[in-house]
Amino acid sequence: MPQSEPQNINLSQTATATSPSWSTNTKLVVGLTAVVIAGTLLVKFQFVLSPLLIALVLAYLFHPAANWLQQKLRFSWTMAVGLIYIVIIVLLLGLLTLGGVGLVQQIQSVVAIAQDGIDKLPGIIEQFSGQVFRFGPFSIDFRNIDLHSISSQLLDMVQPFLSRTGTLVSAVAGSAAGFLGWTFFVILVSYFVLAESGGSRRKMVTVDVPGYTEDISRLSRDLGRIWNAFLRGQIIIFVLAVIVYSIVLSVFGVRYAVSLAFMAGLARFVPYVGPAINYLILIVVAYFQVFKLFNLEPLYYTTLVVIVAVVIDQIFDNVVTPRILSSALKVHPAAVLVAAIIAANLMGLLGVVIAAPMLATVTLFWRYTMRKLLDLNPWPEEEPTQPPPPMGGRVLVKIRRLLRRFGILR
- Tell me the C-alpha distance between 134 and 125, whole Å: 17
pLDDT on residue 136 = 63
Q: How many angstroms from the chain centroid is the CA of residue 55? A: 14
Q: What average pLDDT does the segment 113-141 reach?
A: 67
Q: What average pLDDT does the segment 377-405 reach?
A: 60
Entry pTM:
0.61
- Tell me the C-alpha distance between 258 and 250, whole Å: 8
Confidence of residue 252 (pLDDT cuts 50, 70, 90): very high
* pLDDT tens digits for range 39-74: 888 888 877 877 887 788 788 778 878 888 888 888
pLDDT score of 248 more than 70: yes
Half-sphere exposure of 324 (CA within 13 A, CB side): 20
- Tell me the C-alpha distance between 147 and 153, whole Å: 10
Q: Give the DSSP H or E segment for 45.
A: none
Q: Taking phi first (over 0 means left), then psi (-120 to 50 degrees means alpha), and beta for anything else, what does residue 146 get?
A: beta
Percent of the chain with pLDDT over 90: 8
pLDDT on residue 308 = 93
- Tell me the C-alpha distance between 373 and 292, whole Å: 64
Q: What average pLDDT does the segment 334-338 reach?
A: 81
Residues 6+ apart with CB under 8 A from 273: 337
* pLDDT tens digits for range 134-164: 666 666 666 666 666 666 666 666 656 555 5
Do residues 219 and 368 make contact, with C-beta atoms less than 8 angstroms apart?
yes
Buried/exposed code over 202-238 (b: 16+ C-beta within 10 A; e: otherwise):
eebeeeeeeeeeeeeeebeebbebbbbbbbbbbebbb
More confident residue, 352 or 264: 264
- Tell me the C-alpha distance between 252 and 291, whole Å: 10
Amino acid, res. 282: L
Which is nearest to 239 in space by CA: 319, 310, 320, 359? 320
Do residues 361 and 226 make contact, with C-beta atoms less than 8 angstroms apart?
yes
Residue ranges of alpha helices (H) inside 252-374 are 257-267, 273-288, 298-315, 321-325, 333-347, 349-353, 355-373
Average pLDDT, the chain: 75
Largest CA distance in the chain: 111
Do residues 285 and 110 make contact, with C-beta atoms less than 8 angstroms apart?
yes
pLDDT on residue 288 = 82
Q: Which of 71-80, 159-168, 377-386 has the highest mean pLDDT?
A: 71-80
pLDDT score of 404 more than 70: no
* pLDDT tens digits for range 16-41: 456 778 888 888 888 899 889 988 88
Of 206-215, 311-320, 365-374, the range with the lowest mean pLDDT is 206-215
Confidence of residue 406 (pLDDT cuts 50, 70, 90): low
CA angle (281 as vertex; 280, 286 as ends), nearest 5: 100
Cβ atoms within 10 Å of 120's Cβ, excluding its own: 12
Of 153-162, 277-286, 308-317, 321-330, the range with the lowest mean pLDDT is 153-162
pLDDT on residue 11 = 47
pLDDT score of 179 more than 50: yes
Amino acid, res. 86: I
pLDDT on residue 118 = 65
- Which residues, listed in sequence order, are joined to residue 135 by a DSSP beta bridge? 138
Q: Which of 45-49, 167-171, 245-249, 368-372 has the highest mean pLDDT?
A: 245-249
